[in-house]
Amino acid sequence: MSTTTETFDVQKAIAAQKQLQADKGYPDFAPANGVCWKCRHQIYEEMEHKGYKTGISVGSAATSLVTGCPHCNYSYCE
pTM of the model: 0.89
Residue 55 CA to residue 6 CA, distance in Å, equals: 10
pLDDT tens, N- to C-terminus, the chain (78 residues): 444 568 999 999 999 999 999 999 999 999 999 999 999 999 999 999 778 999 999 999 999 999 999 999 999 998
Neighbours of 33 (CB within 10 A): 10
- DSSP readout, the chain? ---TT----HHHHHHHHHHHHHHHT----S-TTSB-TTT--BTTS-EEETTEEE---HHHHHHS---B-TTT--BS--
